[in-house]
Amino acid sequence: MKIICEKTELAKGVQTVLKAVPAKPTQPILENILIEASDSIRLTGNDLELGITMEIDGNVAEKGEISVNAKTLSDVVRRMPEGDVTLETKGESEVLVRCKKVKYNLPMQPGEEYPRIPQVERANSVWISEFDLKEAIRQTIFSVSDNDSNKMMTGELFEINGKNMKVVSLDGHRIAMRNIRLGENYAAKKVVIPGKTLVEIGKVISSDPESMIGLFFTDNHVMFEMEKIVAVSRLIEGEYFKIDTLMNTEYHTKLMIAKKDLQECISRAGILQKRDENKPVVMDIRKGGMELKVTTPLGSMDENLPIQIEGKELRIGFNPRFLLDMLRAIDDEQIDVYLNNDKMPCVVRDKENSYLYVILPVNIRKAA
């Protein structure tokens, strides 16, 4: 095999598929990326849960396929001078990587030994702009649990119904939901996509509202298809949580507040939080405004914020990190917060029903 690629193009391809290379591989060959040279040049990374393939520009002087250690190749290519990079096999176990006066000889393995990404039929699909999908991931991924003891919580629900796609995540303490308007009607479909997959897909896709991405579903896999990139991921099997009962539309207190004011106030309170410490912030909601307080071993802080309030006054506490995660995901200048009492979740939603966030309160006695 012999290929010639411009350094920047090769580096971009290696970095893209590297996102699917596991940090702790279950098989030694999964530390590698696959390089296929035929009518085109394709790079592949695969951890058996997520596989990413990217086609890159370049010239194929001799066809073939090999696999090379992903991290080593990435480091080598990044440190090459600008210009054309040549990869050429030498015998059965070595590949020469050269650019101008720089040469590396790296160990390789036959491409036939590298595990292939599953083939996904193109029958059951949904098309969405890359921008909309990237935003939906950004606005919900923080509520995915990283605790594998409940596998379902480590994924996000994608529910397609007609022209609407609902994206939901939860971790037992909060829920994030976004509704996305699709360009055409699609058959009803529910799948749960691993959060780890969505994190990497979010890094790969662009912010261009004109670029479209196709999602193709089977019973066990989802394929993401972009212009030069294809990613295939396993789905999480099982029925997702029924969350409708948690989204109570009745409330005793509604407050309207400037998002920026609340976000900056909670950030200031964070000065008194040690790393990994989340002492609750206490919201004292009154007709004349809202006083936000926090007390930690480093000191105490309180700040008054102007609000509009409907209904009962209330004193309630929340994990400040959960509040900040939610506020960073909302683009509206003003937010509506719905509350019942100090033990029931708070709900933040817009009038258009494009988003909904639910956060459980904490025992405010812990703030004392």
Return d(Cα 153, Cα 146) in angstroms, integer: 8
Closest C-alpha among 117, 69, 75 to residue 93: 69
The whole-chain average pLDDT of the chain stands at 94
Q: What is the mean pLDDT of residues 42-58?
A: 97
pTM of the model: 0.93
Return d(Cα 56, Cα 44) in angstroms, integer: 11
Give percent of the chain with pLDDT exceeding 90. Answer: 89
Query: What is the pLDDT, as a whole number, of residue 367?
Result: 46
Q: Which residue has the tokens 């950004």?
A: 138
Q: What is the mean pLDDT of residues 176-198?
A: 96
| Collapsed DSSP state (helix, strand, coil) of residue 229 | strand
Query: What is the pLDDT, as a whole number, of residue 276?
Result: 64
In order of their start, the domains of the chain are: 2-113 (3.10.150.10), 125-244 (3.10.150.10), 247-367 (3.10.150.10)
Query: What is the pLDDT, as a whole number, of residue 247?
Result: 66
Q: Using an 8 Å Cβ cutoff, are 158 and 167 in contact? A: yes
* Dihedral (CA of 278, 283, 289, 295) sign: negative
User: Residue 177 to residues 60, 149, 169, 193, 286: CA-CA distances in angstroms?
Assistant: 46, 22, 7, 14, 29
Q: Is the pLDDT of residue 122 over 90?
A: no
Neighbours of 225 (CB within 10 A): 17
Q: Is the pLDDT of residue 260 over 60?
A: yes
pLDDT tens figures, 126-153 = 999 999 999 999 999 999 999 878 999 9
Query: What is the pLDDT, as a whole number, of residue 368?
Result: 47
pLDDT tens figures, 280-304 = 999 999 998 999 999 988 899 999 9
Closest C-alpha among 139, 143, 179 to residue 161: 179
When computed from its CA atoms, the radius of gyration of the chain, rounded to whole angstroms, is 25
Q: What is the mean pLDDT of residues 47-75?
A: 97
Return d(Cα 6, Cα 339) in angstroms, integer: 57
Q: Is the pLDDT of residue 211 over 70?
A: yes
Q: Give the pLDDT band (50/70/90) at residue 244.
A: confident
Query: What is the pLDDT, as a whole number, of residue 246?
Result: 65
Residues 174-211 as b or e (16 or more Cβ within 10 Å = b): bbbbbbbebeeebeeeebbbbbbbbebbeebbeeeeee
